[in-house]
């Protein structure tokens, strides 16, 4: 089947010289826009001035297709013990340094309660890998270092958070950057915060870049922040799209913003209703009696 490139050109011929693809001649697609093909690097360079505008336009379209795609789940995923979606609030989960597994507080609390009920109470161990929980901050750092030696992005991010909290922003930035290069959405989010606050260098372009990378990976707070950024710059249609995606995943702040957008006539009633249903479904999917019990326990203690 003939594939059409820009301006109706055939993708089976070189966009520069027009030579057709045959057994001896292989055409390579423009990796940026995937609209046209070339028989050689020389033809691609020659055609660049003519192709540049269409290429940039298509790149932006492809970026938006990826950016505004509804993720199947948040970057947190499911609890590896109960297999329910992990809460969006990181305070309701625990990242264990021993195995870099994030476990919901419900499963974490139930595991600790079982160990304390033994005839001879044990020092708490990880609910997933059963390794003893580090007793001191020093022990935890040693475990993190071992995980980082294995290129564990979550361990690198966790170390970045530690250095960030200590005020060592240079080291935090380095750890976040390494974790982000390995695809960690949390690290991308933290980098966006550092660029926003100027902890390394205030840079709005890089802030948005990392927010987008995190949002594409399912980081809901990043998606919410992108909505605010777009609204601040007057791009209300794009802002609403971000809020809808985040609200569909259970983000309360984005749902509240959509109600405000609806009051201003920026969101249709049917879209608001559909989003509200998805929002409630996402919130309820992350609930369980075990998690509610753990939350009540933490409140009392």
Q: Where are the domains of the chain?
A: 6-67, 76-133, 137-289
**Structure token digits, residue 258:** 């959509």
Q: Contact at 8 Å (CB) between 220 and 249?
A: yes
Residues 152-170: what's their mean pLDDT? 96
Q: CA 127 to CA 3: how far, in whole Å?
A: 53
Q: Please give the pLDDT value at position 119.
A: 62
- What is the average pLDDT across 147-162? 95
Quick one: pLDDT at residue 3?
42
User: Over 50: is that where the pLDDT of 168 sits?
Assistant: yes
* Mean pLDDT value of segment 177-189: 97
pLDDT at 25: 84
Q: Residue 24 pLDDT more than 90?
A: no
Three-state SS sequence of the chain:
CCCECHHHCECCECCCCCCECECCECCEECCCCCCCEECCHHHHHHHHHHHHHHHHHHHHHHHHHHHCCCCCCCCCCECCCCCCECCCCHHHEEEECCCCEEEEHHHHHHHHHHHHCCCCCCCCECCCCCCECCCCHHHHHHHHHHHHHCCCHHHHHHHHHHHHHCCCHHHHHHHHHHHHHCCCHHHHHHHHHHHHHCCCCCCHHHHHHHHHHHHHCCCHHHHHHHHHHHHHCCCHHHHHHHHHHHHHCCCHHHHHHHHHHHHCCCCCHHHHHHHHHHHHHHHHHCCCHHHHHHHHHHHHC
**Interval 58-117: pLDDT, tens:** 998 999 999 999 999 999 999 999 999 999 999 899 999 999 999 999 999 999 888 888
Q: Is the pLDDT of residue 121 over 80?
A: no
Please state, in angstroms and rounded to a whole number, the distance separating the CA atoms of residues 163 and 179.
Answer: 14
At residue 4 the predicted structure's pLDDT band, cuts being 50, 70 and 90, is very low
- 259-281 pLDDT, tens digit per residue, is 999 999 999 999 999 999 999 99
| pLDDT grade for 12, boundaries at 50, 70 and 90 | confident
For residue 5, pLDDT over 80 is answered with: no
Q: How confident is the model at residue 10 (pLDDT cuts 50, 70, 90)?
A: low
Homologous superfamily of 137-289: Tetratricopeptide repeat domain (1.25.40.10)
Per-residue pLDDT reduced to its tens digit, 188-235: 999 999 999 999 889 999 999 999 999 999 999 999 999 999 999 999
At 29-61, the pLDDT tens digits run 998 888 899 999 999 999 999 999 999 999 989
Confidence at residue 112, expressed as pLDDT on a 0 to 100 scale: 87
**pLDDT band with cut points at 50, 70 and 90 for residue 2:** very low
Query: For residues 214 and 28, what is the distance between their CA atoms, to the nearest angstrom?
Result: 31
């Amino acid at each position: 089947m003939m594939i059409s490139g820009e301006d109706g050109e055939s993708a089976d011929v070189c966009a520069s010289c027009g030579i057709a693809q045959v057994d001896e001649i292989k055409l390579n697609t423009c990796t940026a826009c995937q609209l046209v093909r070339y028989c050689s690097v020389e033809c691609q360079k020659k055609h660049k001035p003519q192709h540049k505008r269409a290429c940039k336009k298509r790149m932006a379209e492809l970026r938006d297709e990826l950016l505004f795609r509804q993720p199947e789940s948040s970057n947190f995923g499911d609890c590896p013990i109960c297999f329910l979606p992990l809460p969006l609030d990181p305070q309701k989960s625990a990242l264990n340094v021993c195995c870099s597994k994030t476990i919901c507080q419900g499963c974490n609390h139930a595991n600790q309660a079982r160990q304390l009920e033994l005839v001879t109470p044990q020092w708490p161990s990880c609910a997933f890998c059963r390794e003893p929980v580090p007793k001191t901050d020093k022990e935890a750092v040693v475990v993190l270092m071992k995980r980082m030696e294995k290129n564990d992005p979550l361990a690198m991010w966790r170390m970045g958070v530690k250095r960030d909290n200590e005020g060592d922003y240079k080291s935090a930035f380095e750890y976040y950057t390494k974790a982000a290069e390995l695809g960690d959405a949390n690290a991308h989010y933290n980098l966006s915060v550092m660029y926003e606050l100027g902890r390394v260098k205030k840079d709005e372009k890089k802030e948005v870049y990392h927010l987008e990378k995190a949002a594409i990976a399912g980081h809901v707070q990043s998606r919410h922040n992108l909505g605010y950024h777009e609204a601040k710059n007057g791009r209300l249609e794009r802002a609403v799209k971000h809020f809808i995606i985040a609200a569909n995943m259970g983000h309360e702040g984005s749902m509240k913003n959509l109600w405000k957008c609806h009051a201003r006539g920026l969101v249709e009633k049917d879209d608001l209703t559909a989003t509200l249903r998805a929002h409630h479904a996402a919130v309820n999917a992350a609930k369980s009696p075990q998690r509610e019990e753990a939350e009540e326990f933490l409140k009392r203690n």
